[in-house]
Structure 1
Amino acid sequence: MRPSLDTISNNLCGSVVPDLVFWAGRATHLPDFLEYLRQRQCHSTPITVVTGSDAATLDPKLAALNDPGAPISLLYAPLADPGQLGANTNPDRGLFNTFVEEFGADHHGQQFDKGHLASGWAVMAHDGFLVASQAIRKAVNSPKTPPSPHAVAAQLYLFDATNVIRGASGIFRIDPDTGNRKTGQNPQVSRLGHALKD
């Protein structure tokens, strides 16, 4: 993958130099791609990389995002950004704060490392497990008989209207037509690296 990333980044220095590129590759290769952008022939030309939520795992101190001689901006919409979830502007901040307190609390002599809260993956794992466990609980007919997978799946599509999930990421529903998460809040774009040009 690395030789092709080098070639791709240098191809961005042709007769027309783009100021934006969309990264749809694996998150594990994104730091390498950013480094190749930093080293490309036209590295002094500012470039913005737009990518998915996995960018939340990047170290903001990454050299490629902090080189004034190679201005790179990275834009992404995190699924569960701890900074946004804990902000005063989040109406569901109390749910997130309760989760953070419980996450760091002692549980029968065991504790989770609070460092795992930095990327938002712990929040997403919690909310995914919460939805699954609530659907299973609602699908049970008899306490002695496990529910069928079909009954559990059917419950997932009933998390709508007033039947909401109060997760660490806030209050949300499941769209009965698409299965996607629905919330009243729009995702906020996050930026790493250099400020965007006006």
Structure 2
Amino acid sequence: MRFLLVLLLFITVAIKAQEPKQLDSLAIDSTLMSKVKVKDTVHSPKKAALLSLIPGGGQIYNHIAMPKGKKKAFWKIPIIYAGLGYTGFKAVQNHITQRDLKAEYLYRDEFETPNLDKYTQYDDQGVLTLFEDFRRKRDLMIFAFIAVYGLNILDAHVEAHFVNFDVSKDLSLSIKPTMHDFRTPGLALSLNFR
């Protein structure tokens, strides 16, 4: 919890640092006014990546910045949270199971009898094999969680580059059959920019 609060504070400070300072218009004469920076209207991929440290924040930032007819970044947020939720849940579930199997194996090693009823059909080697299997699954789910979180940040960063990207409707590709040297058949590709 403390980590999330520090992370939220860091993101807030980073966003505030990017905002231009407001200056009193009476204290600035006309020669200094030409040197004052005007607020940048360019969409920032760095800011999108920083905002997506909170999952979905960068996608919301990109969605708001897109022109009215091209808004499409909002639908990814449920997928991000579903991926993080599933991988996190399975990692915790596998951790609890492998912890129970470890306790069962140690109990059997000390008292030479099964402790938990659900593992009575397994011998000591079977319990150890199950322990290794659930530990491997837990580690895999931890890596999957990190991958989903990283893809969230990468997606927000890459999509921020395409917020103002415009493809004209007049962009066309045509493929036509053609004859080279009046003997060899072929295809001609024509790409038109208008």
TM-score (norm 1): 0.32
TM-score (norm 2): 0.33
